[in-house]
Structure 1
């Protein structure tokens, strides 16, 4: 799945002309380099910051498109590339469908505003400050009250390896088994951080999903994929006469091997790119 593990070879068979293509054009196409998706290169930290803000804004627009906004609930953050003790977040009360890159607010781990003129969700900085502090590798953290994620969270258990997609989370997601209401206290944030551990994702019982990633792209993709895995398992369990006990699980070793292909950080980054291109084409104002 990951681009650096894929082998791209030019065909050694005879040239096949397509349409009105000439032999010379076909030969030139055969000599042209093959583009392999890579992480973007930035000339400076300011260019990187703008790019990351645009990716986060795209994530909000996608969540709105999927119907994963719930009033003022939900937040995404990313660690500033120049000042890692600060992070960018959506301001409190803005519709996901209207978030632009320029709307994001920069704040510190106490929730104090460093850049911007809007307030932020207290629960957002309590959760995210703890996660970013405890996971230096977590550039981005995503949490929303999506329908299937919050529904599955009511079961108080983890996802099972029932599909190729769910294998991305096999033995790489945790369960926060303690709902204490809206997260307002630092103590609750610390417990969330401890429960997440080194996993890429967490199911918050009676609450929803939370994902992290080394890039904005990765963290958003894990949330999208995990939400769909929750949906898939709920449907599969509903179709079984004896619930989850009737599911056919993927073998442990096979699930781990599959995770190594579809569940690493490069796979997470790469799989977000088609969605990013789609939403930017549909809603280019998010880049402003």
Structure 2
């Protein structure tokens, strides 16, 4: 007896196929076209590069202060030194983000020794324990930022990663981790190594019961991602509260749609460009300066 034929589902009609095609958002490459004007400047002189990047780092601290990310003495942003890549610049311990100037930054080697900088050579040891290990493990990471932001801390107590609820959250789709092991203030190199291992190749970490961490090749991207990650944590908490109140589940973005959105908005080059407006405002308000897409100081 011959086997019975297997019934296949009917092929979609031309109209149905067209409707499905209309749901796609287009080529992710069209979201951002990178060229020389939308890329960070390149320096032949490493000392000139150091001078430029130190000033951008100081602007980043002013942005963090304006966003309310300066909480007591907690928080730090580091910059791998282009002259001596086995060391990094960081804020002096105990100085408010809004007051930091280029000459106040301190240079720390991977042994935890302050080897250059301003009058205050105090080092936040947690900054060394976390950032030195990240810089060692990730040659692609020039900058790393950590602060005890309000919504970041709240969400880091939930023991979860972000859901793809919004277009903005997709910037971190499959590109952030939860480091759930809170062992107290990070004062040991081994804990810093554990954080670096968990972070892997991703750009952000939710440090359980602690706060947010972002890393990247440019200070503009790292700041843009930190500010955005904080807002995504706020949105997630609000959405969770709304769902709990209404009893209705949240609508999540599909996997392919979330991945396409990451392809459009989640890469380092786009992160750099996303951060430029934050720097433009801080340049003008904090220092009376103006740059064209971050490429050198222009007269007012």
Global fold match (TM > 0.5): yes
**d(CA) in 2 for partners of 1:82, 1:175:** 33
> What do residues 164-183 of structure 1 show as CA deviations (whole Å, max 9, x unaligned)?
11001000101101101000
User: Which position in structure 1 is the counterpart of 2:32?
Assistant: 2
> What do residues 124-181 of structure 1 show as CA deviations (whole Å, max 9, x unaligned)?
0000001111111111110000000011000011001011110010001011011010
**d(CA) in 1 for partners of 2:260, 2:215:** 21
Displacement after TM superposition at 1:85 (Å): 0.4
2:208 pairs with 1:205:
yes
Say whether the 8 Å CA contact 1:204–1:210 is kept in structure 2: yes
**d(CA) in 2 for partners of 1:99, 1:63:** 11
Displacement after TM superposition at 1:42 (Å): 2.5
| RMSD of aligned alpha carbons | 1.9
> What do residues 68-98 of structure 1 show as CA deviations (whole Å, max 9, x unaligned)?
1110000000101121101000000000111
User: Which position in structure 2 is the counterpart of 1:183?
Assistant: 186
User: Which position in structure 2 is the counterpart of 1:96?
Assistant: 97
> What do residues 10-67 of structure 1 show as CA deviations (whole Å, max 9, x unaligned)?
xxxxxxxxxxxxxxxxxxxxxxxxx942321324112211111111111111111111
**d(CA) in 1 for partners of 2:102, 2:158:** 36
> What do residues 98-119 of structure 1 show as CA deviations (whole Å, max 9, x unaligned)?
1112211011012201112411
User: Which position in structure 1 is the counterpart of 2:222?
Assistant: 219
With 197-206 and 187-196 compared, the bigger mean Cα shift is at 187-196
1:115-154 equivalences under 5 Å are 115-116=116-117, 117=119, 118-154=121-157
Say whether the 8 Å CA contact 1:3–1:38 is kept in structure 2: no
**d(CA) in 1 for partners of 2:166, 2:65:** 26
2:249 pairs with 1:246:
yes
Note closer, same or farther for the CA distance 1:128–1:48 as it changes in structure 2 (3 Å cut): same
Structure 1 residue runs without a partner (length 5+):
6-34
User: Which position in structure 2 is the counterpart of 1:74?
Assistant: 75
Say whether the 8 Å CA contact 2:39–2:272 is kept in structure 1: no
Q: What's the TM-score once normalised by structure 1's chain length? A: 0.85
**3-state SS in 1 of match to 2:158:** coil
**How many residues in Structure 1 have an aligned counterpart in Structure 2?**
258
With 203-212 and 58-67 compared, the bigger mean Cα shift is at 58-67
Say whether the 8 Å CA contact 1:58–1:286 is kept in structure 2: no
Displacement after TM superposition at 1:241 (Å): 2.8
Say whether the 8 Å CA contact 1:144–1:210 is kept in structure 2: yes
Larger radius of gyration, structure 1 or 2? Answer: 2
**d(CA) in 1 for partners of 2:288, 2:104:** 12
**3-state SS in 2 of match to 1:127:** helix
Note closer, same or farther for the CA distance 1:245–1:160 as it changes in structure 2 (3 Å cut): farther
Note closer, same or farther for the CA distance 1:189–1:243 as it changes in structure 2 (3 Å cut): farther
Displacement after TM superposition at 1:184 (Å): 0.5
**d(CA) in 2 for partners of 1:285, 1:111:** 35
User: Which position in structure 2 is the counterpart of 1:108?
Assistant: 109
Note closer, same or farther for the CA distance 1:41–1:196 as it changes in structure 2 (3 Å cut): same
Note closer, same or farther for the CA distance 1:238–1:2 as it changes in structure 2 (3 Å cut): same
